[in-house]
A and B are shown apart, each in its own frame.
Chain A
Amino acid sequence: MARTALPGRLIWRAARVVERITETPHAATLLLDVPGWPGHRPGQHLDVRLTAEDGYQAVRSYSIATPEDGERLAITVELLDDGEVSPYLVEDVLPGDQLEVLGPIGGHFVWEISQGGPLLLVAGGSGIVPLMAMLRHRGDAGSRVSSRLLYSARSDADLIYRVELDARAVNETGLDVLYTLTRRQPPGWHGYARRVDRAMLEEIAWPVANAPKIYVCGPTAFVETVADQLTALGHDPLAIKTERFGPTGV
């Protein structure tokens, strides 16, 4: 298994909010400037720490949505019911506000163009975020690595990055973007309209003989199902990397 060198010690760094972009009714992207940020690889995540005036602190992990770009990075945060950190980040934070970040964290759920393809990305809900970092990295580098994204969401209103994904699918060679909307479809919808299942994966996943690099990210039940079905189709379990957004008590 490929390994990078051990990273140095991680430290908390001040981050300034440059912009808050509403992605869906339940998700927002925060563009951050982080002086001294050591860089990251597509798919890695970071910890965000918020400190209240009374000293109370809360820390949560978020995937990084953008490829390395100096001291600038973006996270996309999904609003969770009863959340303590996500409502602040999605609804309250304003440009100029400060928070702290620690990272990058992880290194297994990473794809760079040097790893080649074909690439299969399967996203459930906000599981799209680390996969978007991979697709942005691919597109920005002008890579033509054959890549397919299957993105499952409840409705079209819940699709994050829809406009950018459609544009990349049109403009970038070798990229296919497919959606499935599991609960509600708009009139005239031509995409899939059911939960990801074996038949869908058989249509979209590359043939086993092509040995695709596979990344699956989403809620636990989604990842379990997709990874099990891909394994049942004959894909090498060691070629399937997963990241799960469990119900970690928000």
Chain B
Amino acid sequence: MSIISRGFRRRRAERATNRLPPGQYETKGFPVLSAGPTPHTPLDQWDFSIQVDSEIATRWTWSEFQALPREQIHTDIHCVTRWSKFDTDWVGVSLDLLLEGFEEQGSYIMAYSDGGYTANLPLEDVLGGKAWVADTFAGQPLEPEHGGPARLLVPHLYFWKSAKWVRGIALMDEDAPGFWEGYGYHMYGDPWLEQRYQGD
């Protein structure tokens, strides 16, 4: 039962598509949203770690990471600020590979990034070909403002879960809020269920 705003009307052509989750609109651009300055970590100082019980269990330098098998990902992405972008192309390393041997080490993960950003996800949501650490967008090295050198890519959830400037994953037994989740955003963030904010 929404209140009608007098005189408001649609100004855009309706698109017949089932690709747009509820409450989203399509953009051709690639908007940037982040909470602080863009980090610029030199590649020779970059590494990616898996943490278990707050200890680094395994780690890759940039050159080691580059040598890992990569996958091409063609997907739509959906931002909680209501834009969706169709047909994006990425190259990344599957989390199935990065988390190999750690599948029983927890039920949730916390992705952590340069600049202090974090995002929590269920472990099962980043296994099974659903999540990557991506370093290439549209055939080019991922730009810093979009999360380069590497960001998480979890396209089936709202895009804040796809942590920019990601540097590692900590395995957790219990779920815990990441950066935006601590400010009232949804713990899971399924765009098709419109899980934007806590309680949605």
Contact = CB atoms under 8 A, between A and B. Distances in A.
Do these two chains really belong together in a complex?
yes
A220 B115 CA distance: 17
A249 B83 contact: yes
Contact of A248 (B2, B7, B27, B36): B27
Contacts of A105: 184, 197
Nearest to B4: A51
Contact of B3 (A60, A84, A94, A100): A100
- By size class, the interface of chain B is 35 or more
Nearest to B116: A238
A10 B197 contact: yes
A91 to B, nearest CB: 10
Interface string B1-33: 011111111111000000000010111110111
Nearest to A56: B10
B198 A248 contact: no
Given A88-B7, A107-B183, A107-B184, A247 B198 contact: no
A9 interface: yes
Interface in B128-161: 145
Given A9-B199, A242-B37, A249-B83, A98 B5 contact: yes
Range of interface residues on chain A?
A: 35 or more
A248 B81 contact: yes
Nearest to B182: A3
Interface string A82-123: 011001100011100111101001111100000000000000
B198 to A, nearest CB: 6
B160 to A, nearest CB: 12
A33 B61 CA distance: 55
B110 to A, nearest CB: 14
A94 B200 CA distance: 31
Interface stretch (A63-71, A174-182, A225-233): A225-233
A1 B116 contact: yes
Nearest to B115: A237
A169 interface: no
Contact of B8 (A4, A50, A107, A248): A50
Contacts of B183: 3-4, 106-108
A26 interface: no
Nearest to B23: A59
A109 B34 CA distance: 11
Contacts of A10: 184, 197-200
Contact of B198 (A6, A54, A94, A246): A6
A231 B37 contact: yes
Interface string B50-92: 0000000000000000000000000000010111000000000
A239 to B, nearest CB: 9
A8 interface: yes
Contact of A220 (B36, B37, B79, B145): B145
Contacts of B79: 248
Interface string B147-179: 000000000000000000000000000000101
A11 to B, nearest CB: 8
B105 interface: no
8 contacts: A9-B198, A50-B5, A83-B11, A88-B5, A99-B3, A107-B182, A242-B35, A249-B29
Interface of B: 2-12, 23, 25-29, 31-39, 79, 81-83, 115-116, 145, 177, 179-180, 182-184, 197-200
Interface of A: 1, 3-4, 6-10, 12, 14, 49-54, 56-61, 83-84, 87-88, 92-94, 97-100, 102, 105-109, 220, 224, 227-228, 230-231, 237-238, 240-242, 244, 246-249
